[in-house]
Homo-oligomer: A and B are copies of this chain.
Amino acid sequence: MELADIGMAPRREEKVGTLEEAVGLIKNGDMLAFGGIHSHNGPMALIRQMIRSGIKDLHAIGNVSAGMPADILIGGGCIETFTVCYVGLEHLGFAPRFRKAAEERKIKIIDGDEIYYVLGLKAGAVGLPFVPHPPGHEARDNPKFESTYARTTDPYTGREVIVSPAIAPDVGIIHAAQCDPFGNVVHLGSVVADDLIAKASARTIVTTEEIVPLDSIKRDPKRTSIPGHYVDLVVEVPYGAHPLSCHGVYNHDEPHIVEYRDADIDAYLQEYVFGVEDHFAYLEKFGIERLMALRESL
């Protein structure tokens, strides 16, 4: 019982909303980070909703190893610039729309490695002015992308050091197994950099398999992977990562990722994005038996 229940105090506000409201927090031209890694934990339902809504000119900083979420955003015409650490489909090969757009110079690319990405987000989260890199990185092909790196002086040694910028996305979008109505997130598998994305982004949207009650969070606060104060909106979207996995809930649907890879992108988008009314209509295309077969606990 809360005092709010008997009218003696204001009630805590829930942050729960819809995919449509989530897209409303994303503006054309925003810098966008998305969570997960490779074929895992990407906020795919929200990404499909973004494409359906015609979001444009995004500067995606992706995630540290982006696959289908990056590729479909490019294929859907949402991306102007991509900060690339890795965009590919692991053992399934290159990400075809990313590769095509890059080779045809249809998108602007900023190449930054995992240090650039992770420490950049960390700096962006807290206002560190820049990230000084350890010595040795000068031996790589940094001169080819001077827009990525700059240089300053290490006052302790007098040496010149390579530095990279802080990264502070306008919007971070994340998918996780559980989240309470106030934004407290629980990852059942890898967090990867989802916590950093939430910290660094001006607005953070969490889609989740299941909105759990606050009491579930309080049972073991050490399981909470992202504290809710970083989260602006929570959307319950079962199978919201499909065809990627949601760690600890279901595996990735590899045959469908292959189907996506090999499809004509316009036909694919017509069938699975524009041609379906909403996320549940999308799921109906796969059927309960197939979706249930993907389920697997940790």
Contacts and interface: CB of A to CB of B under 8 A. Distances in A.
A192 to B, nearest CB: 13
Interface string A114-130: 00000000000011111
A133 interface: yes
A258 B152 CA distance: 50
B154 A130 contact: yes
B153 A153 contact: yes
A145 to B, nearest CB: 15
In the complex, the count of this chain's copies comes to 2
A212 interface: no
B154 A152 contact: yes
A150 B133 CA distance: 17
Nearest to A223: B222
Residue of A132, A133, A151 with highest tally of chain B CB at under 10 A: A132
Contact of A126 (B134, B152, B163): B134
A157 interface: yes
B132 A132 contact: yes
Nearest to A188: B222
Contacts of A126: 134
A42 B136 CA distance: 37
A183 interface: no
A110 interface: no
Interface in A151-173: 151-157, 159, 161, 163, 165
Interface string A73-85: 0000000000000
Interface in A95-154: 126-135, 150-154
Nearest to A191: B222
A127 to B, nearest CB: 4
Nearest to A155: B150
Contacts of A156: 129-130, 150, 165
Contact of A155 (B133, B135, B151): B151
A117 to B, nearest CB: 15
Contact of A132 (B130, B134, B150, B151): B130
Given A152-B152, A152-B155, A153-B153, A134 B130 contact: no
Interface of A: 126-135, 150-157, 159, 161, 163, 165
24 contacts: A126-B134, A127-B134, A127-B135, A128-B131, A128-B133, A128-B134, A129-B132, A129-B134, A129-B135, A129-B154, A129-B156, A129-B157, A129-B161, A130-B132, A130-B154, A132-B132, A150-B155, A150-B156, A151-B155, A152-B152, A152-B153, A153-B153, A155-B163, A156-B165
Given A127-B134, A129-B154, A153-B153, 12 more contacts: A126-B134, A128-B133, A129-B132, A129-B159, A130-B132, A130-B155, A132-B132, A150-B155, A150-B156, A151-B155, A152-B155, A156-B165
